[in-house]
Amino acid sequence: MTSEATPRLITIGETMMLVTPATPEPIVTASDFRLDAGGAESNVASHIAHLGVHAAWVSAVGDDALGERLRATITARGVDTRWVTSDADAPTGVYFKDPGNGVLYYRRGSAASRMGPESVRDVPLEGAEVVHLSGITPALSSTCSALVDDVFERVAASAATLSFDVNHRPALWQPGAAAPALRSFAERADIVFVGLDEAQTLWGCETADDVRAQLPTPARLIVKDGDVGATEFHRTSTGDDERIFVPTFPAEVVEAVGAGDAFAAAYLAAALNGEPAEARLTAGHERARLVLQSTTDFIIEVQVQKG
C-alpha cells in the first residue's frame, strides 16, 4: 500500500520474525521450518488489509536482515508500513512456535521494545477511524508503556475509535502488575477484546457477565470463550447494555496462537463496514478458524490435502 491517504485503521506494536515447523510437529522432531512475520498488531493489520481495509502498522525493527524481511513480508500483504523504522542499535525480535508445546520468545532488548511516544509523533492517529493496540506493548518496556499512554490520550481527544486487545502475556509482567494495568487500559478504550481465560487469571471472572462487571465503561466489550463462543456487550441508543452471543465454529486446532488477532481484525473490518453485532462476531469466528488450522499467524485459506 503506497497511498498517502490516512489509513482507516492504524495498529502500533511489536512484530517479530516467526520460526515455525513447516508441518504441525514439535520443534525437537521437526526437520523443515519456515520463516514468517508474527505479532499481534501486524497480524491484525495483515488480516484487515486482506479484507479490503486500508491499514497501517507502526513499529520498529532492527537494521538487519530479519527486520528487512519483516517489513517486506508485511508490505506484501497490503499493509501500509511507511511509519516502520529501523534501529541500528537493537535487533529484530524472534519467536518460535512449538506445536503442542507453546511458544518460545526471544524479544528482550529488541528494536520494538525501544519504542516510545516519539515513535508515533508523525503518525496521523487522529485522522484514522480506528487505532488498535494490545496489552503486549505496554509490558515490553517503560518507554513502550509511555507510548501507549500517549496514544490513548491523543485518540481520546479525537474522533477516532480506540480498540484494545488485552492480550495478557504473564511472562512480560512483574508479579501483580498486569491486572490493574490492563484493566486501566481497557477501561479507557472504546472497543475491548479479552479472552474469558485471561479475565479469569487477571480478575477472577467466571462468566462473560463477570467481565462486563469488571469493565463497564467500553462502548463495546467482546469476551471470547475458546471453543464455546464470543459475547459482545454494547451500549444501545437508549443507554442500555445489550448482550449478543455467537457460538464458535467447529475447527481442528493445529496451533491457537494468532487466532485472536484474526478474530479482532475480521470483527473490526465488519464494524468499519457498518455490520451489526452478530455479523461482527461471526466474521471474527470465520477468520479465527483459518488460523487455528495452521502453524502460521496469517493465512487466507486452508489447503486441503486430497488423497
**Spatial contact of 152 and 160, defined as CB atoms under 8 Å apart:** no
Helices 178-188 + 142-156 axis angle, to 10: 20
CA distance 249 to 288: 9
Single-letter amino acid code for the residue at 242: E
Q: Which residue has the cell 509523533?
A: 121
CA distance 4 to 122: 13
C-alpha cell, 83: 511509519
- Number of Cβ within 10 Å of residue 96's Cβ equals 18
Coil, strand or helix at 285:
helix
Shortest CA distance to 196 belongs to which of 230, 234, 169? 230
Angle (nearest 5°) at CA 162 between 159 and 168 = 175
80, 98, 261, 297: the catalytic one is 261
Which whole-number Å values give the CA distances from 286 to 87, 108, 247, 292, 293, in the listed order?
37, 34, 11, 10, 12
C-alpha cell, 289: 478458524
C-alpha cell, 44: 491484525
CA distance 274 to 280: 9
Active site residue 261: yes
Could you list the active site residues?
261
